[in-house]
A and B are shown apart, each in its own frame.
Chain A
Amino acid sequence: EAQVTQNPRYLITVTGKKLTVTCSQNMNHEYMSWYRQDPGLGLRQIYYSMNVEVTDKGDVPEGYKVSRKEKRNFPLILESPSPNQTSLYFCASSLSGLVNTEAFFGQGTRLTVV
């Protein structure tokens, strides 16, 4: 089954403790991206990747890192999480860029930083 898989689905952590949210897609997609979704603010793009070893900042990259060492995986790294990073995170992928191409979203990761 074609899908985007995020792990974990739920995570509660403490301020400053490094964490990684994994994202994997099995559709051989080139484009992958991370979003956070907060009430009243909608989905905001954190980072995106047009292909392996190519990443770029979205609208809210501060406090996050990503890597794209292989096509299928696009982990999101929070080196030192803070409470303002408490949010619902979505990973998405699309075949090649976004023009005339739908993005497939993972099921989301609900992160709480205390």
Chain B
Amino acid sequence: GQNIDQPTEMTATEGAIVQINCTYQTSGFNGLFWYQQHAGEAPTFLSYNVLDGLEEKGRFSSFLSRSKGYSYLLLKELQMKDSASYLCAALSNFGNEKLTFGTGTRLTIIP
């Protein structure tokens, strides 16, 4: 089966850096996604990692360690608009592709 764990809530200060961790256990692992979801809105894609290492995309970076079943999303130079939920999702592929989401981390940015 699949199991995704991430913290429920985090708080960080405007201008600072925050790291949101995600651990996963999934069969047929085929990649790890991060999505951002503002309250009442649809999730939007942030990143996809399938190989070990760090992928940087502007203020956001995502890291994956397949051997440890671990990923993190790093947000730099935090802005108030970064207040949102961040969803970690693992893709498994046993003939059919299936995406399993964690419960999300609600990030609050304070001035």
Contact = CB atoms under 8 A, between A and B. Distances in A.
Interface in A57-114: 58-59, 90, 97-108
Contact of B42 (A33, A48, A101, A108): A108
A67 to B, nearest CB: 18
Interface stretch (A12-20, A21-29, A37-45): A37-45
Contacts of A98: 31, 91, 97, 99
Contacts, number: 60
Contacts of B99: 33, 45, 98, 103
A32 interface: no
Contacts of A103: 45, 99
A99 B91 contact: yes
B101 A90 contact: no
B44 A105 contact: yes
A102 B42 CA distance: 13
Interface residues of A, number: 27
Contact of A58 (B50, B91, B98, B104): B98
B87 A43 contact: yes
Given A99-B30, A99-B31, A42 B45 contact: no
B43 A90 contact: yes
B87 A56 contact: no
Contacts of B98: 45, 48, 58-59
Nearest to A59: B100
Interface of A: 31, 33, 35, 40-45, 48, 50, 56, 58-59, 90, 97-108
Interface of B: 4, 30-31, 33, 40-45, 48, 50, 87, 89, 91, 93, 96-104
